[in-house]
Amino acid sequence: MRRNSQIPNPKSQLSDTDRSPTPRFPRALREASRLTFIACLALCGCAVPHYAKGQWPEALPPESHYGRAYNADAENAKVQTAEQYFDWVLRFYRGYSFYPGWGHQEKTLAKMMTAEEWAALAPRVGELARVISTEWSKDNRVRKLDSDMLVLWGGVLKKAAGLRRVDAAVARLHEDAEAVSAGKLGKAEVTAARYEGLVK
């Protein structure tokens, strides 16, 4: 999901006899299409958070925490720069094209309970996010906690909140996130069936 793939040039796969003439469109239509494409690129670029030194959001766990986590994983450092790691931490919280962000998850949960209930739960949800983001933000080739788990756990939290079991769900997911990150719990074991008792 996060790695760029090389897209083959379709022309290189066709012989001269296979290439059909390119359809000619009115100039105004071509220009409108070009401007629309440029606008889309600009919007996409703005929608993807990027790391800037000295501008770490105060609402997130300290930048120093993620710096220590990055430095502690020599294998990840071989394939991912610190700046790339920090980029993905920011995207975890703020979202990007394929994921709305943990902040959206928290807002959803907050709407499902009273203000007093959320105030009591929020610090534990924040700690869960810190554990998940620390491992998830590493390069795909290294990280043990992937986006499939993130989607599964987000669904578990929402369903558990609707059943008034969110306290137990947060505790269980925190335990599992730490176990996955430490290599003590494998991806094959993290399935929907594991959390049936919390959501049914």
Digit-coded pLDDT (tens) for 144-200: 999 999 999 999 999 999 999 999 999 999 999 999 999 999 999 999 999 999 999
| CA neighbor of 106 nearest in space, from 81, 87, 125, 134 | 125
| CA neighbor of 76 nearest in space, from 145, 4, 130, 150 | 145
- Supply the mean pLDDT for the chain: 83
DSSP 8-state assignment for residue 110: H
CA gyration radius, the chain: 22
User: 200 in helix, strand or coil?
Assistant: coil
Residue 134 has pLDDT above 80, yes or no: yes
Query: Which residues sit opposite 99 in a β-bridge?
Result: 96
What's the rounded Cα separation, in Å, for the pair 64 and 165? 33
pLDDT at 18: 40
Provide the residue count of the chain: 200
pLDDT at 163: 95
Overall average pLDDT of the 90-102 stretch: 91
Residue 36 has pLDDT above 60, yes or no: no
Where b means 16+ CB within 10 Å and e means fewer, 149-162 reads bbebbbebbbbbbe
pLDDT at 28: 55
**Least confident span in 12-21, 65-74, 111-120, 127-136:** 12-21
Residue 24 has pLDDT above 50, yes or no: no
What's the rounded Cα separation, in Å, for the pair 121 and 129? 13
Higher pLDDT, 97 or 143: 143
Per-residue pLDDT of 42-52, as tens digits, reads 334 346 788 88
Overall average pLDDT of the 14-25 stretch: 40
pLDDT at 97: 83
Residue 38 has pLDDT above 60, yes or no: no
